[in-house]
Structure 1
Amino acid sequence: MEDWFHFPHHAPAIEHRITRENATGLRNWLFAIAALVFAMVLLGGATRLTESGLSITQWKPVTGVIPPLSEKDWLDAFEQYKEIPQFKQLFPDMDLAGFKVIYAWEWTHRLLGRLIGLVFVVGFAWFWIRDRIPQGYKPKLFAILALGGLQGVVGWWMVSSGLVNRVEVAQERLAIHLLLAAALFSACIWIAGGLGPRAPSSVLHGDGPRMRFVSRLALGIVFVQLGLGALVAGLRAGFIDNTWPLMEGGFSPSIETLFSIDPWWRNFLDNPILVQFLHRLTAYVLLALTLLHMIDALSNAKGKARTGAIIVFGHVVLQASLGIATLVMIGPEWLGAPHIALALAHQAVGFGVLAVTTLEARRLGEAAS
């Protein structure tokens, strides 16, 4: 009988004999980590949309878990916030009560990050001590741990960019921060997807390599799209050109508009019109690719590989629809809770697309092997 962790056939059976319950525990733990990262991304999105991300102007990885407890502590934290450009230029009329609200968003965001690290370290240690980590998986789990640590450092690097000479964080650092979160999320799902029995999933002879390539290409494009989405958010590019399918009066803005900044390559990071246009184009490419993949799977795949292709395409359609709605419904009356909810739904489904695309690529990798 095939072992639950897909060990190499030469792996000593006694040294790493893993029961179904052990496999389920490790898999569920990784899925729980992914769920916490998902919650962290949504909380981060809410923190950004409420302009709360710069409310804590110091990075204290350990002692920062304790919020201000006295009136004096709150006043000290507020005075530190008053020193940065965001307060002086955007919120000079904010009072202490308003500051406490934005502080709560950012503090909760950082607290959840610490919680994810704690849950991962404790779980990793527990599975290791009980010899429930199969051969070859420890380096993968260490890589996730290192990625999580890097994410904390990059998070502060991002915040620090908004404390001097800016009223918001640098958009390229925001994109890196989100992409690291996406990598953590996808890695947990990818590894968890390889634990347990292989689900019935097959492709017709000769079609496997092609379908595997397309599924992995789609996964790569999802990462590109998430990075572009972060740039759109950081540049507030969603507040311009709020029409669809036309943009600047046509399908594409003029070359002069798309590359109005010198040197030309800075447009890919600093020009909100080009960034939004690329975000749209990438959505069209992803929609077309997943549609073709679904048609291919309906003809040449069975089981969960086939079902997964349908689910991926459905998620992409929903995500594109939410993106269009978020864009065209922006207006003065939408700058409050309704628009925040719509924008967060767009971000949530974006990570849903990442999840199902990761699983489809993982599944087709097995089916095509």
Structure 2
Amino acid sequence: MPASILGLAIRPRLCHGFRAAQGFTAFQYPRGFKSLLGGVPKARLALKPAVVPSFLSRRCYSVAAQKKSAVMRALEPRFFSANSFHAAAQASPLPVLAPPAVGRWLLFSSALVFAVIVVGGVTRLTESGLSITEWKPITGIMPPLSSEDWNIEFEKYKATPEFKLLNHSITLDEFKNIFYMEWGHRVLGRLIGITFVVPLLYFGLRKKLTTSMPLQLSGMAVLIGVQGFLGWYMVKSGLEDSIMDTPGAVPRVSQYRLAAHLGTAVVLYAGMLGTGLAAIKDWKYARGGPWSGSSTMLWHDVTSNPLVRKFTRRSWALTGLVFLTALSGAFVAGLDAGLLYNEFPLMGGRLAPPTSELFSPAYAKSADGSDIWWRNLFENPTTVQFDHRVLAMTTYFSTCLLYLQSRRGALRAALPPLARVSVTAAFAMANVQVLLGLATLLYLVPVPVAAAHQAGSIALLSTMVHLLVSLRRPGIAAQLWRKAGVQTHKAKP
């Protein structure tokens, strides 16, 4: 075999040729050259030093390495091709980057949570939540199928305080309507659990999640289970017989438990939405896409800008204010406080009710009256509505100020395009939400308008979550993948 062919076909196992003391040098030839070497079945070829000249032993490694590098460049798929992205991840020490399927799954899950929040609001507005008197996580997925089953459920409902005090003249057909509303709400909650936990296990076992995702998503899965327990804990408060012993009491669920149930759902929704948006944006950025809608801005320059950092802190504060306002709405719904003072901006001809009404001693339960402040804040319908009004208007004007700030020359030039779009959407949604709130109040809480008002609060929160995601720096995995992609393109001839 000519020495030139041998030098291209084989490469030494040792870095600098053979060792004379051993009497031979071990060479390893790549796959595909078996026929060139005469069909030798072994993976190694032992050659005497006399067979391989000294100049070949010194040069064969570098020549073979150059040949291998050229072959690998010719056969290697492009870094940003759709089929080679995760193949490159498995062949390199780069961290795992969640694929778009993970982001789309999280966005779908957040949409289901959004739907269950709206359905839960309608269930509360139609007073359907107490129609199912038992909690059966497994067997409760099936509604009554026969007349006998319906009669059994109806008899259970007749034993509740709500039937005895409010709905004692309800018919079986009317009972079916409120039963199906509550049943649909519960089934949707179970569907969320299944559509979240099963894909989570799949993506986790296939190692499609970034380093921080398993803990975050596992926490969300636990929160779904807690949410189901809170739902039953809330319903149970409206089924207690002690309501019958309280003069003038109205069968309703505890406003504290209702707020906890809604608050947990909102936190779950925001977590799913934010994580899903971040996963999709990180994937696009890692594949060479623009950061936050800009192909010229560098994220580290933007996020380190003092004006942008101050704007980000204010955005976080406004997001918390939106959440707090939505939570106060749960107390309004739980106490039916929306049916008081159906006028705006006045309350009984005044900007605020009298102090004696806002902090009535009748709501204090301790002998020294030390709990008069916090009990009126959470149990007095007049105070609860007043607090919700104050929080709503504070949220609205804060959103207006944040929008106006984003329009200023210096900050406008520093903000990425998606952040400007998000803050504009938040301002527009805040205006819609104020109009829905006023319509709910002035028209004595009609079900469609009130349900739209609750959905509007979640929509406003969604715009704020998107604003925060558009201002975040890419994940570590996305940064490393982007850097590796740039280096790969620079190394190509």
- Scaled by the length of structure 2, the TM-score of the pair is 0.68
Unaligned runs of 5+ in 1: 3-10
Counterpart position of 1:309: 423
Unaligned runs of 5+ in 2: 1-78, 81-89, 244-250, 286-290, 295-301, 365-370, 475-493
- 1:268-279 to structure 2, matched below 5 A, reads 268-279=377-388
Give the alignment partner of residue 77 of structure 1, picking from 142, 146, 153.
153
1:268-321: CA deviation from partner (whole Å, max 9, x where unpaired): 111111111111111111111111111121221231111111111111111011
List structure 1 runs of 4+ shifted beyond 6 angstroms.
none
Counterpart position of 1:108: 184
Distance in structure 1 (CA, Å) of the matches to 2:180 and 2:351:
42
Give the alignment partner of residue 392 of structure 2, picking from 283, 295, 300.
283
Give the alignment partner of residue 473 of structure 2, picking from 360, 366, 369.
366
Deviation of the 1:193 alpha carbon: 2.1
Q: What is the letter of the counterpart of residue 233 of structure 2?
A: W
Counterpart position of 1:162: 238
Counterpart position of 2:331: 231
Give the alignment partner of residue 321 of structure 1, picking from 399, 410, 435.
435
Q: What is the letter of the counterpart of residue 200 of structure 1?
A: G
Higher helix share: 1
Counterpart position of 1:59: 135
Counterpart position of 2:275: 191
Deviation of the 1:155 alpha carbon: 0.4
Distance in structure 2 (CA, Å) of the matches to 1:305 and 1:99:
48
1:182-211: CA deviation from partner (whole Å, max 9, x where unpaired): 000000111112113342364793112211
1:62-85: CA deviation from partner (whole Å, max 9, x where unpaired): 111111122111111111110110
Counterpart position of 1:208: 308
Deviation of the 1:362 alpha carbon: 2.6
Counterpart position of 1:221: 321
Distance in structure 2 (CA, Å) of the matches to 1:275 and 1:341:
22
Q: Given the superposition, is the C-alpha separation of residues 252 and 365 from structure 1 closer, same or farther in structure 2, using an over 3 Å criterion?
A: farther
- 1:239-250 to structure 2, matched below 5 A, reads 239-250=339-350
Give the alignment partner of residue 170 of structure 2, picking from 94, 100, 103.
94
Identity %: 37
Deviation of the 1:12 alpha carbon: 9.7
Counterpart position of 1:345: 452
Q: What is the letter of the counterpart of residue 361 of structure 1?
A: L
Q: Larger radius of gyration, structure 1 or 2?
A: 2
Q: What is the letter of the counterpart of residue 288 of structure 1?
A: F
Q: In terms of mean alpha carbon deviation, does 160-169 or 204-213 score higher?
A: 204-213
State the SS of the aligned residue for 1:79: helix
Q: Does the Cα contact within 8 Å between 1:203 and 1:302 map onto a contact in 2?
A: no
1:75-108: CA deviation from partner (whole Å, max 9, x where unpaired): 1111111011000010001111111111101111
Distance in structure 1 (CA, Å) of the matches to 2:384 and 2:292:
40
Deviation of the 1:111 alpha carbon: 0.3
Q: What is the letter of the counterpart of residue 72 of structure 1?
A: E
Q: Does the Cα contact within 8 Å between 1:215 and 1:364 map onto a contact in 2?
A: no
State the SS of the aligned residue for 2:350: coil
> How many pairs does the alignment contain?
350
Distance in structure 2 (CA, Å) of the matches to 1:365 and 1:29:
21
Where relative contact order (Cα < 8 A, 6+ residues apart) is larger, the structure is 1
Deviation of the 1:328 alpha carbon: 0.6
Q: In terms of mean alpha carbon deviation, does 198-207 or 319-328 score higher?
A: 198-207
Counterpart position of 1:7: none
State the SS of the aligned residue for 2:472: helix
Distance in structure 1 (CA, Å) of the matches to 2:468 and 2:443:
34
Counterpart position of 2:72: none
Q: What is the letter of the counterpart of residue 302 of structure 1?
A: P
State the SS of the aligned residue for 2:352: coil
- Scaled by the length of structure 1, the TM-score of the pair is 0.90
1:162-196: CA deviation from partner (whole Å, max 9, x where unpaired): 00134111111111100000000000111112113
Q: In terms of mean alpha carbon deviation, does 73-82 or 187-196 score higher?
A: 187-196
- 1:8-157 to structure 2, matched below 5 A, reads 13-14=92-93, 16-18=95-97, 23-157=99-233
1:16-68: CA deviation from partner (whole Å, max 9, x where unpaired): 444xxx62111110010010001101111111111110011001111111111
Deviation of the 1:366 alpha carbon: 3.1
Supply the RMSD in Å over aligned alpha carbons: 2.0
Q: Given the superposition, is the C-alpha separation of residues 31 and 49 from structure 1 closer, same or farther in structure 2, using an over 3 Å criterion?
A: same
Distance in structure 1 (CA, Å) of the matches to 2:91 and 2:253:
51
Distance in structure 2 (CA, Å) of the matches to 1:163 and 1:68:
21
Q: What is the letter of the counterpart of residue 272 of structure 1?
A: P
Q: Given the superposition, is the C-alpha separation of residues 13 and 169 from structure 1 closer, same or farther in structure 2, using an over 3 Å criterion?
A: farther
Q: Does the Cα contact within 8 Å between 2:328 and 2:388 map onto a contact in 1?
A: yes
1:237-293: CA deviation from partner (whole Å, max 9, x where unpaired): 111100001112111112111101323121111111111111111111111111111
